[in-house]
Amino acid sequence: VIKCKAAVAWEAGKPLSIEEVEVAPPKAHEVRIKIVATAVCHTDAYTLSGADPEGCFPVILGHEGAGIVESVGEGVTKVKKGDTVIPLYIPQCGECKFCKNPKTNLCQKIRITQGKGVMPDGTSRFTCKGKPIYHFMGTSTFSEYTVVADISVAKIDAAAPLDKVCLLGCGISTGYGAAVNTAKVEPGSTCAVFGLGGVGLAVIMGCKIAGASRIIAIDINKDKYAKAKEFGATECISPQDSKKPIQEVLVEMTDGGVDYSFECIGNVRVMRAALEACHKGWGVSVIIGVAAAGQEIATRPFQLVTGRTWKGTAFGGWKSVDNIPKLVTEYMSKKIKVDEFVTHTLPFDKISEAFELMHSGK
């Protein structure tokens, strides 16, 4: 058993608490990882807020991490002690019907136990003050050591800087993949990106790499426009600057609507606007943002009858074990940006400050 520091969420709506936790050794087909770096994501904040129907407490959150394998359980063959890895919230077992289908990346092998905050055998590897602590998204990267299923880990280039590539564990991969895998943006196309957080910037990057000729970035926070342009946005607009609904503004700007739109916020009204900003006959709108529990999307069916397509994506459609090492290589060869997404680097015990920076849009 390893004793180490972790940020424990004791209950919904309360700040994280830095505690000493015990991390049990890995059982069969499990891997214990020394987490070197982790990022914070809106999904962590969403669960912490209590809005997540699958949220279990007390829990160790975090799902954008990178580290070194400390030990492996029986039967683990893909990684060994000392390997550099990224934990995966969408695993890839290679055996279930989802993994065998090229149309999806949503491996279901451990979905049920992962959603309940436990390892595949139904138990937790974390304890604190004598109480078991739940796992989160199969990763729990807000701990100096974590235990994950062996299908939830990707071995990456040992030369990669872990304080940067941890971001490939969720946000960058998600946005980039939404553009290149889910939407399949084509050269010369016009795109609209709603929400300029990490995911939105990664979508812009993906659209640019795919050869889009026009990338319209949309956010009410104008402080984000300079960064959006750095990533490839050709223009930036705020919905608050017009009396007309944003979809009408976009349809007018683009002679009938955009070829591709992306919702990177998790707001169902914005999801509707993103679809309705698409061009009749061929426009495609991709939902990336996670809406709160119980919310529903709406539009007039005629929007779809007249040839628009509504799609969703999780983790950018990447089959995780196969593709995360390739994304790390793309970063190392400067094909994709990663360093530019990092705004602040803080010591682990300042993790609550990191959440404040995220909430304030900084």
Of the candidates 207, 208, 206, 228, the one whose C-alpha atom is nearest the C-alpha of residue 218 is 228
Mean pLDDT of the chain: 97
Is-contact 154 88, C-beta < 8 A?
yes
> pTM to 2 decimals?
0.96
Tell me: the pLDDT tens digits for 151-181?
999 999 999 999 999 999 999 999 999 999 9
At residue 361, the pLDDT reads 84
Cis peptide before 325, with omega less than 30 degrees from 0? Answer: no
C-alpha dist (Å) from residue 91 to 138, 177, 192, 240, 324 = 9, 16, 30, 40, 11
Residues 261, 336: Cα–Cα separation, whole Å: 21
At residue 132, the pLDDT reads 98
Check whether domain 174-314 has CATH 3.90.1200.10, yes or no: no
pLDDT bracket for residue 53 (50, 70, 90): confident
CATH code at 2-169+319-360:
3.90.180.10
- Cα torsion 48, 98, 267, 140 to 10°: value is 20
Residues 256, 253: Cα–Cα separation, whole Å: 8
pLDDT bracket for residue 338 (50, 70, 90): very high
Percentage of the chain lying above the pLDDT 70 cut: 100
At residue 362, the pLDDT reads 87
* Residue 227 neighbours by CB distance under 10 Å: 18
Domain boundaries, the chain: 2-169+319-360, 174-314
User: For residue 125, is pLDDT > 90?
Assistant: yes
At residue 187, the pLDDT reads 98
pLDDT bracket for residue 52 (50, 70, 90): confident
User: For residue 264, is pLDDT > 90?
Assistant: yes
Mean pLDDT of 302-314: 98
Residues 125, 121: Cα–Cα separation, whole Å: 11
Joined tokens for residue 97: 């019907």
User: For residue 284, is pLDDT > 90?
Assistant: yes
